[in-house]
Every structure is written in structure tokens, then in C-alpha cells.
Structure 1
Amino acid sequence: MKGSKTIMDEQIYDSDNTYKNPSQEIPVYTPPTPKKREKKNRFGLRICALALVFALLGGALGAGGVIWYEGSRGQTGTVGKNETAMLQGIREKSVLNTVTVDSGKEMTAAEVYAANVNSTVGITTSITTNYWGFQTTSAAAGSGFILTEDGYILTNYHVVENSSSITVAMYNGDTYDATLIGYDESNDVAVLKVDAQGLSPVVVGDSDNLNVGDSVVAIGNPLGELTFSLTAGLVSAKDREITLSNSLTMDLIQTDCAINSGNSGGALFNLYGEVIGITNAKYSSSSSSSASIDNIGFAIPINHVLPIVKSIIEKGYISKPYVGISVSDVNQQSQLYGIPAGAAVQSVSDDSPAAKAGLQAGDVITSVNGTEITGSSDLVDLVSASAIGDTLTMTVYRQGSTMELTVTVGEQVQSALANEQTQQAASDSQSDGRNGYPFGGRR
């Protein structure tokens, strides 16, 4: 039976080991010049894997010997029937030079990591919850990245939601208590501040320049304990409209880059070393009987939230473009009666820019500045991308006639800490049911 699908975090482990039993005479072999780094602990990991297989296959092996080697190893020797030989490699570890981000130069994934790992952070929060008069404290973890040298940090709002304390851990081992400066729940972003100077900020890129198929890497803290891990993948889709498990709908970057519990709030980089997204979700089946879903992760395009983040840091409040209307899609039945597709105006706020321009409830907006509007989301995206003071020329259908109205985009001011986080009294209600994950990210 297929289960419904929701956006949430998921942990999946998989392994695939190959074992060979070559002839007893080991030929002389001269290895080629190595091109890839060899991690020091690789040899130990292979030993552990082989020990498991030997135990499972011991009866079938009998008295014959088992030889383990890789084609790139440069050792020779002869083994008797009752002997087991393991050949150790002699390659030296590659040296990775630290590089700085140059927007005009593409880097390898290893270089992106070296250039940015000191700009990424681990975030741990404490959440105090009232259960019928009893207080409990749980921990949750996520990721983030440094925006400025003087300690502003960006993460997801759901990572720090309802937190009573926030701790930030740097790559060098330093930890800081963090203050929540501001957040926008509708865009799932939060700005933190730590008391530090001389930090290494990221370089912010342009997410609009992404193409499907571009390589990307994520640096974060999967499971809350695998700190500063890098995963790599491709951009699978752009502007994917996704409804999250909290019913929030967002247009996100889809990627096959591994994103797991604890990665929330971390940076998604292009191969120029620039942040182009904030990892925040992945697809997962809600039913254990459903097929496994892998490599479908999502990130918030940095361009979508950068104006909000700048407003929080520079002004201390959230400044958003505003025209003062609520809109919906024109349904198919209405289109059968000759009403065009577009954004149907449901209401107009008094004394708003839209009211001053002459917009009325019942109008259908079909284009703005020459750009076709086929539904409400088109209009919302266009207004959201506008600057305060911009002029929008709207083509409007009204009762069989078409006209043009000019709307000047206004400013909507919202407290950066609107709906300031408080815990409900135990006598009012039970816990809201949110869970803290000691070794994972917040959902």
C-alpha cells in the first residue's frame, strides 16, 4: 500500500562491498600516478567490512586462502594455500592547498570545502516544553553559515523555533551563545548574532544563475553529530513548488545532494564557492510500506530571502514590498464564461497602493509590466521581487473590459521578532507536539 508523501528528514544507510579471490601468485605491478586523495582511515574501514564477510563465508572458504588487494596497490608476493595476505598501499596523502573564493573561477568540491568550512557552523538548541504542569527540556540540532565578520549567522527558522537557548559551534572548536535577532517564518529564515569578531563570512552568489544540471555541494551537520560533512550532487530542478509538513508552500531548488536530519539551515554552494541556497527539506515517505525515496532534497534560493535578511540586519525589522490586495486563481468554470486566466482580486486593503491605483475586488490581473500573469502565484512572485517604490503597470480585466492601472509598490513593515516566541502556560494547553531530536535536525 502506498503511503502519502510529506516533506521531512530521513536517515538511510546503504553499503556495497565487492570482494575478490584472485590466484595465489600475485603478479608484479607498478601503480600509475595517483590522481585522487586517499583518506588515512580507508584501510581500517575496509578491514571492518571484510571481517564481516569472512565470518559469513567462512564455511564456503574452507582451507583456501583469501587475498585482498586493490589494483592500484604496488606490492608483490607469493602466498601459500593456508595463508592470508593483505597488501598495504604505499601512496602518500595528497596535499590540498587552501583557496579563496574567486567568483570567476570554478573549483573542485574539495576546494569549495576548504574555502568554506570555516564559514559554516553547527547549531544546538534547547527547547523547554510544558506537559500538563511539568517542564521538560529537549535538544535539537541544525546547521548555519556566517554572513558577516562580526557574527551574523543565517539558518532556518524551524531550526531555532521556540528555543530557550541557542549555541553555535565553529569548525575550529569555538562555541558561542547566540541571540535570535529576527526571523521570517513564511520564508523559513532566521538571523542569529554571536559576540565575535574576525569571523570568515561566506560569499553570497546569485541563485537565479543556476541551471538544471549544475554541480552543487552542501556543508552541514547530518544527524547533529556528523559535523561539517560535505555532500555533493546536481541541481535537479528549479522553482519547484513544495508544500512542507507545516503546510508552508515554497518555491525551492531541488537537488540530489544528500540532505538529512541536521542539515537544515546549512549552505548549498555552487562550484564557484558561493552560497546559492539554504538546505531545508527532503522528500520522505510517510509510510513504512512505501518505496524508499532517495536523493530528493530541497534548498531555499538565496535570492528569495536575501532582501529580508538584509532588512533584519540593517534596519532591525522586516521590510517587504506591498500593494495591498489578496488574490486567487481564476477557476476553469469562470474561464468557460470568457473570464481570462490571471490573478483574481479577492479584496483590496483601505488606503493601500492598490486602492489608490483604483483596483477593485473582482478584477482579474492578466499582466504586469508586460509579463503574463496566469495565476495568483505569478503575481505574488512578481510583487515579492519588486523594490519599494517600483511602478507596476497592471493589465486588468473588469466586467468585460480591459484597462491599465499603475500601482506604486509600498513598504510593509513587520517586526523582526513578530510573534515573539513564548511558551504557553501548562494550565492553558498541552504541548503542541513538536519533537526535539537529540542527534538530528528540526522538522
Structure 2
Amino acid sequence: MDDYKFNEVKDVRWESINPEDGNIKFRKNKKKSFFGGFLKAIIFIIIASISGGISGAYVVNNIYNSNGGKYVIPQKNESYTGDTLKSSNLYGSAINKIADNVGPAVVGVSNTGESFWGTVDKGIGSGIIFDSNGYIVTNYHVIEGAAKVTVKLSNGKVFPAKLVGYDKRSDIAVIKIEGTNLPVATFGDSTKVRVGDLAVAIGNPLGEEFAGSVTAGIISALNRTMKYDGAIYKVLQTDAAINPGNSGGPLVNENGEVIGINSLKIGSEANAEGMGFAIAINEAKTIIDALMNDGKVKRPALGVLGQTVSSRDGSIKGFYVNQVIEASGAAAAGMKPTDIIIEIDKQKVESFEDLAEALDKHKIGDSVSCKIWRDGATVELNITLKEVKEANR
């Protein structure tokens, strides 16, 4: 295979009111009229001054002072009248409420592992309590390779945690601590998020020293697809600061609902400012449900191991099959090692990510058409997708 260049082996299993001209005209010898007009002007000025003073006093007493000495701007469809001002969802007060209501449900997640020197601290991330009985969601990379996981609540209490399940592909993990009546965060609907919406990130950037940090910004973009290390993420982009340690913490909307799970790992190599990413909560909820029910995510898989390949002249690109898993759909259909998958369901496959994305549109038991390049010719196979248990572990 000297004619091909290979990438890392991957496992495929698996948004002044002016009068007319502004002048006053006088007529000769009509002093009465002149003085009458002058008197009216003086009276008008006095009345206007009194009205202005009353209005100004109202603004100072009812707006400035009632907001801690800070002037505020009414939001859309709001005005400075009666109870409307007091109940308006102003930008600053929204963040205060989010911090107060969601903050207690955000935890620190510590990962310790074993080495030649004994137990070592492998880092800290964040997590979200979503069930009052101690169930917490975080990023898989936060607890990856951990010999021991501990959770620190916002009140300072520390608990050992056990793993419920994880999915490396989506970078989601669920852990549990022994507790009851714990504060929980409410999951929102990420499909309703719009570009420009308020976005607040809560977590432990750079470790426990900065636990409970709150940063705010906006939603910068929607429906981003990020590909990293074989995983395909459906994410929200935000300019709210997300730093190491924020991973696994919540991205929250103005209603205090979790709309995403922060994941610095995505795009961290770019080292860009003002570009944070969070796994859309609707994507995450499906994974969380599967982990809670089965401890893993069941995905359809062809049943092959391999890597991305391209010929030197670029005429052939696809997924090179190194191994066909025994008893898989690929094995039953007659796929062989050295085959190159170039199409799935008539969609071009030029990389591992293309293949994974195509399979994500199907469920276990579906039959897919697969075009392969074999010994200089194309061959078409129909493959029934099965679950390969080793794919998630």
C-alpha cells in the first residue's frame, strides 16, 4: 500500500417647540399685545421648569435609587411605569438571578489517577447536578482515566463519586454521589436559542481556587459541527469566557435554563479569544438518558476498524478497512480487509468523520448501501447495521 497515506487508526463502530419660522413678530404701538405675549412666555417657562423638576425627581427617586444608584435601560416592550419597571428582566438582574439559582447546582469534579509515584492529581473540571439524588453530568474527558473521582459542592462539601456511564464519542459522562434533596439545574431547549441571546457560563476555571466563577456573553452562532478525535459535536458558540476547568459546567440562558454543556476541549488547539463552545443540551439529553438507562450509548455500526486514506494523486479517498469484526453486518455482507469505503447511502466518504456522520443518521437494524473500492474496481454491498458492544468501551 505504498501508494496511500494513512491517518491514525479509528474505530468506526458505532447562530423650544418651534412656531412656523421660529420668530415672534411685533407691530408698532401695540404695547399691550407685546407685554401680553411676553407674560405668556414667562408663564410657559415657569410651568415647564416645574414639570421638568417633578419628572427629574421621579426618575431619580424611582429609577436611579431603586436600582442601587445605577441607571437602567428598559428592555423591549418595557417602560418606566408602576410595577413594570420593578419586574422587568434587565440584563444585570438576569445574571444575578442565574448565579443565585443555577450556581448551587454546579459542582467541581476532581480526577485522580495512579502512576509510578502513586496517586496523582489529573485535573479538575465542572459538573451539573440534574437529579436531586446525586446524578451529575460532566465531560468524559474530565474523568477519563480516573482511578478516583471526587465531587465538591458549592457549599464546600466533598463526596466520592462513582461512574454511571460514559460515551467517549460525545464526550459525555454521568457520575453519582450519595446525596438527597440536592439543588438541581433545569435543562432547556437548545433548538429555541437564537444568535444574540444572553449566555452565562458557570464553572471552575483553572481549578478550585476560582470555583463558581460566572462569565457572561451572547450566543455567537448556532448548529456548529465540530469534529475532534473521531467525535462529532453539535455545539453552540459563545463569547462567554470558557477556560480550563469550565469543562462539564453549564451554559445558561436568561431564564436560568441549561442550554449547553461547556467543553473547552473543542477547538482548544486554536487558542482563540472569544470563541467558546458548548455541546447543545438537546444532543446531550439523549446521551444522558441512554447512560442512565443502559450505562452506555447503543449506536449502529458497520463492524469495521480502519483509517482515513487517500491516494497520492487524490483520485481515491475513503476509509480503509484494516479489520472486519466477526459476526458484524460488514462481515455478513462480505466486506474484506483492504477494502476502501467510498460511499454510504450515495454520500461520499472521504474520512472517518464522514463515515461516522453518515451512520449517525441511522439506527440499529437499518440496512445501508455501501460502495467500496476493491482491487481497482467498485463493489456495492448492502450492510445491516448492528450494535458492536466494544464500540463504547
How far has the Cα of 1:234 moved from its partner? Answer: 1.8
Shift of 1:201: 4.2
5+ residue gaps, structure 2: 1-52, 73-84
Q: Within 5 Å, which residues of 2 pair with 1:51-62?
A: none
Give the counterpart of 1:357 among 308, 330, 333.
333
Partner of 1:144: 127
Correspondence for 1:333 among 312, 316, 320: 312
Counterpart of 1:382 (choices 334, 358, 361) is: 358
Is contact 2:151-2:177 (8 Å) kept? Answer: no
Q: Which residue of 2 aligns with 1:194?
A: 177
Q: How far, CA to CA, are the matches of 2:87 and 2:178 in structure 1?
A: 31
In structure 2, C-alpha distance between the alignment counterparts of 1:110 and 1:239, rounded to whole Å: 29
For 2:383, the aligned partner's letter is V
Which residue pairs with 2:107 in the alignment? 122
Matching residue's letter, 2:245: G
Deviation at 1:392, TM superposition (A): 2.3
Residue by residue, what CA displacement relative to the aligned partner does 1:124-161 show, whole Å, maximum 9, x if unpaired?
Answer: 436365565xx466585321112323321101233334
Measure the CA separation in 2 of the matches of 1:267 and 1:352. 38
CA-CA distance at 1:108 after TM superposition: 5.7
- Please give the secondary structure, in 1, of the residue aligned with 2:332: helix
Is the Cα contact below 8 Å between 1:318 and 1:413 reproduced in 2? no
Whole-angstrom CA distance in 2 between matches of 1:344 and 1:182: 31
Q: Which residue of 1 aligns with 2:260?
A: 277
Q: 1:256 aligns with which of 212, 232, 239?
A: 239
Tell me which residue corresponds to 1:78.
Answer: none
Is 1:179 paired with 2:179? no
Amino acid at match of 2:332: K
Residue 166 of structure 1 is matched in structure 2 by: 150
Task: State the 1:379 CA deviation.
Answer: 1.3
CA RMSD of aligned residues (A): 4.3
Q: Is the 8 A contact 2:195 2:221 kept in 1?
A: yes
Q: Which structure's CA Rg is the greater one?
A: 2
Say which SS state the counterpart of residue 289 (structure 2) adopts.
Answer: helix
1:406 aligns with 2:382: yes
Asked if 2 retains the 8 angstrom alpha-carbon contact of 1:317 and 1:414, the reply is: no
Which of 255-264 and 394-403 deviates more? 394-403
> Share of identical aligned residues, percent?
30
The amino acid that maps onto 1:218 is A
Aligned to 2:292: 313
Cα displacement string for residues 363-410 of structure 1 (whole angstroms, at most 9, x for unaligned residues): 433232x54544331111232453222332334455666565332221
Contact 2:215 2:240 in 1 (8 A): no
Shift of residue 263 of structure 1?
1.1
| CA distance in structure 2 between the aligned counterparts of 1:295 and 1:321, rounded to whole angstroms | 36
Given candidates 299, 324, 347, the residue that maps to 2:303 is: 324
Distance 2:168 2:391 in 1: 12
- Change in Cα spacing, 1:275 to 1:386, as seen in structure 2 (3 Å) is farther
Letter in 2 for 1:411: E
- Aligned-partner SS, 2:387: strand
> What is the deviation of 1:173?
6.3
Letter in 2 for 1:321: P
Kindly tell me: are residues 114 and 130 of structure 1, through their superposed partners in 2, closer, same or farther at Cα, counting changes over 3 Å?
closer
* Cα shift at 1:266: 0.4
Distance 1:196 1:359 in 2: 50
Secondary structure of 2:389's match? strand
Report the Cα offset of residue 310 of structure 1: 2.8
| Corresponding residue pairs, total | 316
1:219 and 2:195 are equivalent in the alignment? no
Pairing of 1:262-301 with structure 2 (within 5 A): 262-270=245-253, 274-281=257-264, 293-301=272-280
The question of whether the paired residues in 2 share the 8 Å contact of 1:216 and 1:235 is answered with no
- 1:234 maps to 219
Structure 1, unaligned runs of 5 or more: 1-27, 44-69, 73-93, 99-106, 287-291, 419-443
1:223-269 per-position Cα deviation (integer Å, ceiling 9, x unaligned): 433415242322346445465xxx67654634322112321110223
TM-score under structure 1 normalisation?
0.57
Residue 323 of structure 1, CA deviation: 1.6
CA distance in 1, matches of 2:65, 2:385: 54
Measure the CA separation in 2 of the matches of 1:151 and 1:97. 34
- SS where residue 299 of structure 2 aligns? strand
Q: What letter corresponds to residue 259 of structure 1 in structure 2?
A: I
Post-superposition Cα deviations, 1:173-195, rounded to whole Å, max 9, x if no partner, equal: 66544322233345433211122
Query: What amino acid sits opposite 1:192 in the alignment?
Result: I
Partner residue, 1:64:
none
Q: Is the 8 A contact 1:150 1:195 kept in 2?
A: yes
The whole-number CA distance in structure 2 between the counterparts of 1:389 and 1:367 is 15
Distance 1:163 1:36 in 2: 55
- CA separation of 1:280/1:249 partners in 2, compared to 1, >3 Å: closer, same or farther? same
SS in 2 for 1:257: coil
2:344 corresponds, among 367, 383, 386, to 367
Distance 1:392 1:110 in 2: 51
User: What letter is aligned with 2:218?
Assistant: G
Aligned partner of 1:366: which letter? Answer: E
Secondary structure in 2 matching 1:144: strand
Q: Residues 298 and 343 of structure 1: is their aligned pair in 2 closer, same or farther, counting only changes over 3 Å?
A: same
